[in-house]
Structure 1
Amino acid sequence: MKTVTGLFDSYDAASAAVSALEGAGIPADDISIVSNSGDDRDDTSNAAEGAGAGAGLGALAGGTGGLLAGLGMLTIPGVGPVVAAGWLAATAAGAVAGAVAGGAAGGLIGALTDSGVPEADAHVYAEGVRRGGTLVTARVDEFRAEEAQRILEESNWIDPAARRRDYEADGWTGFDATLNPYTRDEIARERNRYPMA
């Protein structure tokens, strides 16, 4: 299996990517979504409402109505509250809860690197979620990796190398789970910095 990953500035673009992956026949159990919900934007707050106030981590494994039907809420240190579903979210949640070695920073970054995502990209993805973005991952057979990556890219994804350069130009060196999550104002400034198409 190979992991393909896409970071999105818009929850709507990410959820469209999830739907496109499912439409291409990739099982919901092999797709994950992790979206920052700390700014109460309409798109992520609607997802949070769909998750339900009492949604537990068991909901992260997905559901019979597709991946997005299994959304749940959790908090990742350094990122803050997220709306999440799927195998990556469940792995990251286990690390945050202390069930996986590596601590909170290892939660999201460790889950990504353990699934084959380069560590430099994993840091960009975690920082992107911290700054208000949404991460979509899919585990696919090697022969479907190119197709799945194309689906993500066609859904208005963020080029991780370009975003890393932008972050580094401001002095960023890597995701740091000990930092405070971005505030609503900081997320709004970040969204203005990268207008969504």
Structure 2
Amino acid sequence: MKTVTGLFDNYDDASDAVGELEASGVPHSDISIVANNADNRLDHTDTSHMDTSNAADDAAGGAGLGAVVGGAGGLLAGLGLMAIPGVGPVVAAGWLAATAVGALSGAVVGGAAGGIVGALTESGVPENDAHVYAEGVRRGGTLVTARVDDALETEARRILSQTNSVNLEQRRSEYQADGWTRFDADADAYDATTIGRDGARDVNRI
């Protein structure tokens, strides 16, 4: 299995990508979405199906977030609310979210590279890329990650590198130009008045 990842400044673009991945044959159990929700941008979402209580405990215990809040309506029907250190409040679903929550409790991965960075690197994402992805979510973005077999890898990469996805190398350069070096899980999370600045940046136009 290969891990394919895309970062989006706009949640709706990320949601569309999830739908395309599912339509292409990727099981929703192999897709994950993590969206910053510090400004309650997703407050319009019907939260009646969301698990807001024990998702972290169940994920850390091995059940996996998808098993906790999953449903027949695909991945997005299983959105749950949680907080990730350094990122803040997120709306998330899928295996990466469960792994990140487990990492925070030491159940899945441990050490300094725990949390969202540890979950990404554990799944095969290069650590330097994982830091950019995590920082992107911290600053208001939405991360979509899929585990795919060889037959679906090309299509999954096409979907997650679509017009409205972030150009990772360009975004890395922009962060570094501002003095950023790596994601810091101990840093204060951005609040509603400071997140979303990345959305004003140029996106990848392929």
Which consecutive unaligned segments of at least 5 residues does structure 2 have?
59-63
Matches within 5 A, 1:60-99: 60-61=65-66, 62-99=70-107
Output the CA distance in 2 between the equivalents of 1:89 and 1:104: 18
Asked whether the equivalents of residues 77 and 104 of structure 1 are also in contact (C-alpha less than 8 Å), the reply is: no
Find 1:177's aligned residue among 179, 185, 196. Answer: 185
Q: Which amino acid counterpart does residue 144 of structure 1 have in structure 2? A: L
Output the CA distance in 1 between the equivalents of 2:141 and 2:50: 21
Q: 1:82 to 1:111 in 2, by over 3 A?
A: same
Q: Which amino acid counterpart does residue 60 of structure 1 have in structure 2? A: L
The answer for the alignment partner of 1:6 in structure 2 is: 6
Q: 1:27 to 1:169 in 2, by over 3 A?
A: same
Percent identity for Structure 1 against Structure 2: 60
Output the CA distance in 2 between the equivalents of 1:104 and 1:48: 35
Asked whether the equivalents of residues 108 and 126 of structure 1 are also in contact (C-alpha less than 8 Å), the reply is: yes
- Secondary structure at the residue paired with 1:151? helix
Q: CA offset at residue 144 of structure 1?
A: 1.5
Find 1:137's aligned residue among 142, 145, 148. Answer: 145
- Secondary structure at the residue paired with 2:195? helix
Would you say 1:165 and 2:173 are equivalent positions? yes
Q: CA offset at residue 177 of structure 1?
A: 0.3
Asked whether the equivalents of residues 167 and 203 of structure 2 are also in contact (C-alpha less than 8 Å), the reply is: no
The answer for the alignment partner of 2:155 in structure 1 is: 147
Q: CA offset at residue 195 of structure 1?
A: 7.8
Output the CA distance in 1 between the equivalents of 2:73 and 2:151: 26
Q: 1:48 to 1:165 in 2, by over 3 A?
A: farther
Q: CA offset at residue 194 of structure 1?
A: 5.2
Q: Which amino acid counterpart does residue 38 of structure 2 have in structure 1? A: G
The answer for the alignment partner of 1:49 in structure 2 is: 47
Per the normalisation by structure 2, the TM-score is 0.86
CA deviation profile, 1:25-84 (whole Å, cap 9, x unmatched): 11000000000000122xx22347355364541582132210000100110000000000
The answer for the alignment partner of 2:28 in structure 1 is: 28
Output the CA distance in 1 between the equivalents of 2:134 and 2:120: 9
Find 1:109's aligned residue among 110, 117, 120. Answer: 117
- Secondary structure at the residue paired with 1:184? coil
Output the CA distance in 1 between the equivalents of 2:204 and 2:53: 29
Q: 1:155 to 1:190 in 2, by over 3 A?
A: closer
Output the CA distance in 2 between the equivalents of 1:171 and 1:137: 27
Which consecutive unaligned segments of at least 5 residues does structure 1 have?
none
Q: 1:22 to 1:55 in 2, by over 3 A?
A: farther
Q: Per residue, is there more helix in 1 or in 2?
A: 1
Q: Which amino acid counterpart does residue 17 of structure 1 have in structure 2? A: A
Output the CA distance in 2 between the equivalents of 1:13 and 1:35: 11
Output the CA distance in 2 between the equivalents of 1:156 and 1:109: 23
